[in-house]
Structure 1
Amino acid sequence: MKKGIKKLLVPLMALMLVMTIGCGKMKSERDYAEYSTNGQTAPSRSEEPKAETSSGRGGLSNITSDSGMTVDQEVGTDRKVIRTVRKEIETKEFDKAVNFINERTIRDKGYIQSSNTSGGRLLNGNYVGDRYGEFVIRIPVDKLNTFLKDVETIGVVISSSENGEDITAQYFDTEARVKTLKIEEERLLTILEKSEKLTDIIELEKRLSEVRTDIENLTGTLKKYDNLVALATVTITLREVQEVTELKTKPVSFGEKIVTSFKDSVNSLYEILKGLVLVIVSVIPFAALAAVVAVPIVILAKKHEKKAKEVIKKETEKE
């Protein structure tokens, strides 16, 4: 009886072995068929993707990073914010202000992305006419506050604005897509090693090239994001003036309002008098020209009048 059972077990084990090999081969062929149809490899049990999305297009809600945290959890501790600052400054010492900006930029490990100056002209080694300059500067975010405080000392800040653009969602979404593409790249390489048909090899290499191109483009995007986040963009508009704009504080008490009103009236009267003086000075050349022309005419007119009177007198005597 035992010998009969042993004889039956041997062919049964052989049959199971053949079926296992056949199933494995069918699964491998089915995986490639799915890849060829959908353009993606079917996930294997031994290698689950590190980053998956519930929407299938890179949504952030269910993405899991290498640390085991979801993106929503990581966002709270590592936000990606692009900071941009604009300042408009008036100064009476344009050259000194430009040198100061250059020195502070170098000191704070930043760089001038672009600069442009215009206006003014040289006369006997000195500039005549007010100049204008615009400087776009990249400064490390940890040095930004110190840099701005220093720059504000070069003149009077006429206007100032600061903006922060939160790109956290775009950043982690792009990072997750890179991870998913790298997993697909590894699977493609694994299938490519096992493939024997020329058509399959050509199709796999084509898709592998597309995946690598996408990885390269997205990696470049991440590097651009890192640069924008690490270095703030500061745009400084520098205006040369003869007199800087006086920044007035709003009066609080009634007495301060009276004093402020009196000063404003005096300043207004002073400006009116200056205007009158300028008008008088500008009229003097025309008045002088009019006098030059009018005097001979008056003299001739008087001579003509005198002669006319003499003629009338003579005629009267004859009568």
Structure 2
Amino acid sequence: MKKIILLMAIFLLAGCSSANEDYKVALPESMEIMEMGEMSAGGGYAKMADSAPRANSAMPDIAMPNRKMIKNGNMNIETTAFDESIDVIFTKIEELGGFIESYSVYGKGDTFNPRSAYMQVRIPEEEFNNFIDDTADFGVATSKSIDVQDITDQYVDTELRIKSLETQRDRLLELLKEAGTLTELFEIEKELNNVIYELELAQGSLNKYDSLLDFSTIDITVREVYEYVDAHPEPVTFMDRIIQAFKDSFKNLFAVIQSAIVAFVLYLPFIAIIAIIIIILIKVFRVKKRK
């Protein structure tokens, strides 16, 4: 029993030592002297955004060797052809080798309840910028944003942990062959099961990192509109301001009239009931007055 405990202590110390050595080997020199430029002080995130009217790329191509960067995007699209825009987006995703994780549609598609769709898609990392920038066929992009998360440290730590756990597993398997008693066998198997469990968790985390690195996530919201509202230029002269105010007043008046008509139709049954009650009360009052 003392022999087994001594051997286990030796291989655990050796495993920790080897993990430290692996860490020194795994980190390239470029990572130690590399400056992240626009990265935040914590080294965690870099955030960039681009509005639709601008023609430049939403995300410039920045070379970051030896770094593990997860890209996430967000897009808001307005369209007068809702069904066609959805079809074009689906086709584009398929052409780029991506896939749709979730998709939902809200609204009835009429004048007072236009439709809106939300989808979360995964695009191959090398096609991410092209998809974000090329939105002309989707409709009018009212906003775009990109988040970039640097997970290099987490990725390297997970790789080193896997190597260390694999070393522990292999040594426990050797000790298992040398176990002389049932007690020793039980203790070694218990420790081996714990190591295998931790190894599976670490490997799962690494696989998830690889998936997020290979396929970037983009959240897309598509809203149905019946006309595109272009922002008019700011009035310069006094006369321009008067003309613009005159146009806005007519638009507002038309909107108020529409709302009043809709409200009247909506409450017409209640208005009719109230009118009938008032007429009955008036007749009753007149009969009583005659008596």
Larger radius of gyration: 1
The one-character-per-residue Cα deviations of 1:41-76 (angstroms, maximum 9, x if unpaired) are 2556xx9954217xxxxxxxx8234x6747945987
Percent identity of the aligned residues?
26
Q: Which residue of 2 aligns with 1:113?
A: 101
Rounded Cα–Cα distance in structure 2 between residues aligned with 1:189 and 1:71: 37
Q: Which residue of 2 aligns with 1:6?
A: none
Alpha-carbon shift at residue 150 of structure 1 (Å): 2.5
Rounded Cα–Cα distance in structure 1 between residues aligned with 2:86 and 2:192: 52
Rounded Cα–Cα distance in structure 1 between residues aligned with 2:259 and 2:170: 84
Q: 3-state DSSP class of the match of 2:24?
A: coil
8 Å Cα contact 2:16-2:164 kept in structure 1: no
8 Å Cα contact 1:71-1:172 kept in structure 2: no
Question: Which consecutive unaligned segments of at least 5 residues does structure 1 have?
Answer: 1-27, 54-61, 294-319
8 Å Cα contact 1:112-1:137 kept in structure 2: yes
Q: Which residue of 2 aligns with 1:77?
A: 65
Rounded Cα–Cα distance in structure 2 between residues aligned with 1:180 and 1:148: 40
Mapped pair 1:52 → 2:40: no
Q: Which residue of 2 aligns with 1:33?
A: 5
Task: Rate the CA distance shift 1:248–1:159 in 2: closer, same or farther, 3 A.
Answer: farther
Alpha-carbon shift at residue 163 of structure 1 (Å): 0.7
Q: 3-state DSSP class of the match of 1:151?
A: coil
Q: How does 1:136-151 map to 2 (within 5 A)?
A: 136-151=120-135
**2:204 maps to amino acid:** G
Rounded Cα–Cα distance in structure 2 between residues aligned with 1:177 and 1:208: 16
Q: How does 1:85-104 map to 2 (within 5 A)?
A: 85-104=73-92
Rounded Cα–Cα distance in structure 1 between residues aligned with 2:229 and 2:177: 74
Rounded Cα–Cα distance in structure 2 between residues aligned with 1:222 and 1:74: 25
8 Å Cα contact 2:118-2:221 kept in structure 1: yes
**2:134 maps to amino acid:** D
8 Å Cα contact 2:85-2:137 kept in structure 1: no
**1:33 maps to amino acid:** I
Q: How does 1:1-319 map to 2 (within 5 A)?
A: 32-34=4-6, 41-43=11-13, 50-52=18-20, 63-65=23-25, 69=28, 72-73=31-32, 77-120=65-108, 129-247=113-231, 257-258=236-237, 261=241, 264-275=244-255, 278=258
Aligned pair count reads 238
Alpha-carbon shift at residue 240 of structure 1 (Å): 0.3
**1:101 maps to amino acid:** I
Alpha-carbon shift at residue 187 of structure 1 (Å): 1.4
The one-character-per-residue Cα deviations of 1:214-246 (angstroms, maximum 9, x if unpaired) are 111110110001001111111110000111231
Rounded Cα–Cα distance in structure 2 between residues aligned with 1:276 and 1:128: 15
The one-character-per-residue Cα deviations of 1:272-297 (angstroms, maximum 9, x if unpaired) are 442575589789999xx9xxx9xxxx
Alpha-carbon shift at residue 130 of structure 1 (Å): 1.2
Alpha-carbon shift at residue 80 of structure 1 (Å): 1.5
Rounded Cα–Cα distance in structure 1 between residues aligned with 2:179 and 2:264: 100
Q: Pick which of 269-278 and 155-164 moved more.
A: 269-278
8 Å Cα contact 1:87-1:237 kept in structure 2: yes
Q: 3-state DSSP class of the match of 2:135?
A: helix
Rounded Cα–Cα distance in structure 2 between residues aligned with 1:173 and 1:84: 22
The one-character-per-residue Cα deviations of 1:197-216 (angstroms, maximum 9, x if unpaired) are 22112111111111111111
8 Å Cα contact 2:71-2:217 kept in structure 1: yes
CA-based RMSD? 3.7
Task: Rate the CA distance shift 1:97–1:201 in 2: closer, same or farther, 3 A.
Answer: same
Q: 3-state DSSP class of the match of 1:190?
A: helix
Q: 3-state DSSP class of the match of 1:238?
A: strand
Question: Which consecutive unaligned segments of at least 5 residues does structure 2 have?
Answer: 35-63, 276-291
**1:268 maps to amino acid:** D
**2:225 maps to amino acid:** V
8 Å Cα contact 1:35-1:41 kept in structure 2: yes
Task: Rate the CA distance shift 1:266–1:201 in 2: closer, same or farther, 3 A.
Answer: same
Question: Whose RCO is larger (CA < 8 A, sep 6+)?
Answer: 2
**Structure 1 or 2: larger helix share?**
1
